[in-house]
């Protein structure tokens, strides 16, 4: 996939995605885990802001065993674009919509016999075998049930349903500390061992996300579920993988203003020029996912120089002080997020300044800024 033509890009504010870096990161991940561990590429929340439909081919070409999303709506969008590729829903799908999951040939997370029966019964209408992974709660208390004799018996009954393919079983780490991680691991593995002794079998057993798959090789099992790691977000603490940030965010100057000393800028004049200044209006704001609390902390890179954002950040626009940038002109590119090589703000730096995590910063970028894909 290549750059869109200029006449197809209807805004100056764009998200650039380097598919080459995605493929590079996927190769690093696959080399790390080896051929016996499958990689489920997590593309929920519109591919963490990169655009799920746009990045899917790069992940498929790189050998992802599944593309995983959080909701049925996300899965259906991918299914419409990629009819035959394995898709997985990590989250809950309401009972009334489970027949749609079967009809669309999507693998679903379940945790009850009621869900299993609905999907098994859907075979009569679709003629398609329903494929599921069973969620086990090992202490995160989000989805699934805690291991118990009753849950073990329920899972065995689910596995016995004629038109249901119980392909996998999984849990999720709370990542509190090493001791708590190990408790969850032991609880999960002991429960799976119990189920296997009762006659159940699972192609995939999985529990490791982006952080755990790097930090804890033991937790990789048959499958890992990297998301942020694929996009170049480094959240690991013990291990290391040289993944590269695959996303950048940029815009162009709309207008330049000559502002006299003492004059205010933006709502409530929260910022006033300390001297005669040149202020650039930039066509992006918090409706483009930029954290509003970066007022007086955020900056952009223009002509290789840092231009601090000044005044209250607006929904669709913001202002930057470009007084000290020689030759600055309307139409100049302003890098909002970059890889840091040009002095630009990285996703990691933005997350720290905003008091949040890296996933929040990129996932909050909505569909409004066009995505431009390059190799």
- Set 125, 203, 267, 269: catalytic member: 267
Contacts of 227 (CB under 8 A, 6+ apart): 41, 42, 43, 44, 48, 68, 209, 210, 359
Q: Note the maximum CA span of the chain.
A: 79
Q: Name which of 203, 195, 206, 187 is nearest 158 in CA terms.
A: 195
Other CB atoms within 10 Å distance of the CB of residue 37:
20
Give catalytic status of residue 44 as yes or no: yes
Per-residue DSSP letters for 126-140? Answer: H---EEEEEEB-SS-
User: Is 146 assigned to a binding site?
Assistant: no
User: Is 142 assigned to a binding site?
Assistant: yes
- Set 21, 44, 131, 205: catalytic member: 44
CA trace torsion 120, 125, 131, 133 (10° rounding): -50
Give catalytic status of residue 306 as yes or no: no
Beta bridge partners, 132, equal 108, 166
- What's the CA angle centered on 50, arms 48 and 55, to 5 degrees? 110
Q: In which residue are the tokens 């066509």 written?
A: 283
The distance of Cα 48 from the centroid of its chain, to the nearest Å, equals: 3
> Any idea which residues carry the catalytic annotation?
44, 267
Residues annotated within the binding site for substrate are 142, 315
Residues annotated within the binding site are 142, 315
């Amino acid at each position: 996939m290549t750059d869109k033509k200029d006449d197809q890009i209807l805004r100056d504010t764009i998200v650039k995605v380097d598919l080459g870096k995605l493929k590079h990161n996927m190769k690093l991940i696959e080399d790390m885990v080896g051929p016996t561990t499958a990689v489920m590429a997590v593309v929920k929340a519109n591919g963490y802001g990169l655009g799920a439909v746009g990045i899917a081919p790069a992940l498929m070409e790189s050998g992802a065993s599944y593309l995983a999303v959080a909701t049925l709506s996300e899965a259906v969008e991918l299914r419409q674009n990629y009819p035959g590729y394995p898709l997985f829903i990590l989250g809950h799908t309401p009972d009334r919509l489970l027949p749609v999951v079967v009809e669309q040939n999507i693998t679903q997370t379940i945790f009850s016999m009621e869900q299993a029966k609905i999907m098994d019964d859907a075979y009569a209408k679709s003629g398609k075998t329903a494929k599921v992974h069973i969620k086990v709660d090992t202490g995160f208390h989000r989805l699934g049930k805690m291991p118990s004799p009753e849950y073990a018996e329920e899972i065995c009954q689910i596995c016995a349903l004629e038109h249901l393919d119980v392909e996998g079983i999984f849990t999720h780490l709370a990542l509190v500390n090493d001791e708590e991680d190990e408790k969850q691991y032991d609880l999960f593995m002991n429960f799976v061992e119990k189920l296997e002794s009762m006659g159940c079998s699972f192609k995939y057993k999985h529990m490791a996300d982006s952080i755990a798959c790097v930090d804890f090789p033991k937790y990789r099992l048959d499958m890992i579920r990297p998301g942020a790691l694929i996009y170049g977000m480094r959240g690991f603490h013990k291990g290391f993988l040289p993944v590269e940030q695959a996303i950048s965010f940029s815009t162009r100057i709309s207008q330049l203003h000559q502002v006299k000393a003492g004059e205010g800028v933006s709502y409530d004049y929260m910022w006033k020029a300390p001297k005669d200044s040149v202020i650039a209006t930039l066509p992006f704001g918090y409706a483009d996912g930029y954290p509003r609390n970066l007022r007086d902390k955020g900056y952009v890179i223009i002509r290789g120089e840092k231009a601090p954002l000044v005044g209250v950040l607006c929904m669709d626009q913001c202002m930057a002080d470009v007084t000290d940038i020689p030759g600055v002109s309307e139409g100049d590119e302003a890098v909002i997020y970059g890889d840091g090589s040009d002095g630009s703000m990285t996703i990691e730096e933005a997350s720290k300044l905003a008091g949040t995590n890296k996933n929040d910063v990129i996932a909050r970028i909505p569909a409004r800024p066009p995505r431009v894909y390059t190799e």
